[in-house]
Amino acid sequence: MRESRFWFLMEGEFGPNYAHVLADSLVLSQYQLTVKSSLEAGVSPRDVWDAVCEQQDVPADRRLGRDIAPKA
């Protein structure tokens, strides 16, 4: 997963503003680092996303992103 996809998923799940607040403040117990620090430390965006989902109880059906209806 690219970091751009990670941010797309974060913003889709938590909103464009709160996603960045959460990334600065949520300490992932698995890494003992914030979301943002985990990415900066080289943890793969996929692993960080999975940790966020686990810790924030994101339902399995939304972990790949919300369904977006195709344009007609």
Q: Where are the domains of the chain?
A: 3-58
Helix (H, G, I), strand (E, B) or coil at 56: coil
pTM of the model: 0.87
Give the pLDDT confidence score for residue 55 in this predicted structure: 96
Inform me whether the pLDDT recorded for 9 exceeds 90: yes
**Rounded distance between C-alpha atoms, residue 60 and residue 6, angstroms:** 16
Percent of the chain with pLDDT over 70: 93
